[in-house]
Every structure is written in C-alpha cells, then in structure tokens.
Structure 1
C-alpha cells in the first residue's frame, strides 16, 4: 500500500494580508488529509461510523518550516505514528516539490459515535490500521 498523499493548491482565502497561508489552515489541511487516509485504509472516509465508532482530535501540533503562498501546489503525506488501545497518532508532512514546508501530528481518541465516550476501535478497524502501519508507509512525496 502506498503512503496516503493528498495534493492541493493553496487558495486565496487561505492566505493572510501578506500572501502567506494563515497558520490555522495547516490544521485544515491535516484534517482533509485524515479523511483521505481513512478512505485509503478503510475504503471510505466514513468507514469508522459503520462500526459505531468515530475519532476526535485530542491534540494537534504543527512545525512550520517554510511559508506557503497563494497557488502553491503541495502534497500532504500521512502515516501512522502510533496506534494505542484507544488512540491513533497520524503524522503529516506538507511538501512543495522536494521541499518539506511543514510537519505535524494529530492525536485522535476513538469514541462511541453516539455517546462520544472513549472506547477501543473494533477489532476489524484495528487490524486494518495495524496492517497499514506494518507496511511502513514513508511520508516522502516520491
């Protein structure tokens, strides 16, 4: 299985008055890429809900390395950093060509889709995540 990669082009409304992507939009890029990740691993972005489970973001981190600007074409790469009993850490890298412009992580907690209380993911979901993790998907854009 190839690493999950999501291409995007920076839109005008994502930039601040200086023409640089506003920092909060990096988290939006991570969020969009997480849905692409779920589609790649589970077959559809709503695959968790089919099992009565969901995940919520418990922590986000971004490291800004280079500025992104309007109309830059980038690729967001995603891989599993950690799979715990009730949590999942996804690692993100944003690439402009061969240049890494930002890195980050989201720590998700699996929850019951109705009550939003923490719970372990169903074994079928866990098995698919472990299989993907075992493939050692590299985040590089190649």
Structure 2
C-alpha cells in the first residue's frame, strides 16, 4: 500500500458464504451492499453518526452508482474498501471506492457513488452546507475500521 492509500479512510470486512454465487465468487449485486456498508462507516466516521444529519433536516439519496469489476472475490476473503471524496457539487457529492483484497492488494472492484443532499421535511434537494462540504473535503485520512476479525497490525 502506498503512503497516499494509507491516508484514505479504510474499512475491512469478510466475504460471507451467502454472498457468493454458483461460480463460487461474490455475486455482482452484492457489491452494491458492500458500497452501502462501507459508505455508512465512512459517514459515521465523518459525522459521528447518521442521526446528526437527520437532526439538521438533512439526508442523502443515491442518484448514481457505477461499478467496475477487476478480479473475483471469494468466500472468506477480507476486502478493504478505500474511500475518497470525488466531486462535491452544489446539491450532490460523489465518493470513490476501491475494494482491495487484504493481504495481497489485488484490486477487486471500483465504484463511484453519487448522492444528492435532501431536506426530508420537504422531500426536495438542498445545497450542501459549508460544514458538510468541509468534512467531505477533509475526509477521514488514516482511519481504519475493521469488521473482518483479522489482525490490523
């Protein structure tokens, strides 16, 4: 892992048996779940918890998810999601994720997910406040969260 990669937010998780298909690899649709759980951990790290957004009458909705598959992942592999902010617009922002196999650094998949910020009380999009923009721009460099049970040393 390069110094730049170690400065990204990282989230590790283990591939479960039920996430694999008849070819014994992770079923493609499961990667959307992987993006979701990884971004949830990222958002929790940035904002403290999701409720802090909701308490401000703010929420995020997915408007685009693009996936590129690079190599198969299999049952019991530990995957590491690395997340960095992409474009931060007026009412939306994009996060870039890379999923690497922990231990050998094989790039398994990449994703770009775009969210629009909404005001739930009006169910309408709303501008990204400066405070949230700053958190997204700063990110969570060097933070590692693991749900995989591996040694993080």
TM score, norm. by length of structure 1:
0.86
Give the number of equivalent residue pairs.
Answer: 135
Q: Aligned partners of 1:7, 1:91: CA distance in 2, in Å? A: 16
Q: Aligned partners of 2:32, 2:75: CA distance in 1, in Å? A: 17
Out of 1, 10, 17, which is 1:5 matched to? 10
Q: Aligned partners of 1:122, 1:7: CA distance in 2, in Å? A: 30
Q: Does the CA-based 8 Å contact 1:63-1:102 persist in structure 2?
A: yes
Q: Aligned partners of 1:110, 1:25: CA distance in 2, in Å? A: 25
Q: What's 2:34 paired with?
A: 29
Out of 115, 121, 129, which is 1:114 matched to? 121
Deviation, 1:5, is 1.2
Q: Aligned partners of 2:135, 2:129: CA distance in 1, in Å? A: 10
Aligned CA RMSD, in angstroms, stands at: 2.0
Q: What's 1:43 paired with?
A: 48
Structure 2: segments with no counterpart, 5+ residues: 1-6, 144-153
Displacement over 3 Å in runs of 4+: none
What's the secondary structure of 1:7's corresponding residue? strand
Q: Does the CA-based 8 Å contact 2:8-2:83 persist in structure 1?
A: yes
Deviation, 1:40, is 1.5
Q: Aligned partners of 2:121, 2:88: CA distance in 1, in Å? A: 22
Q: Aligned partners of 1:54, 1:122: CA distance in 2, in Å? A: 12
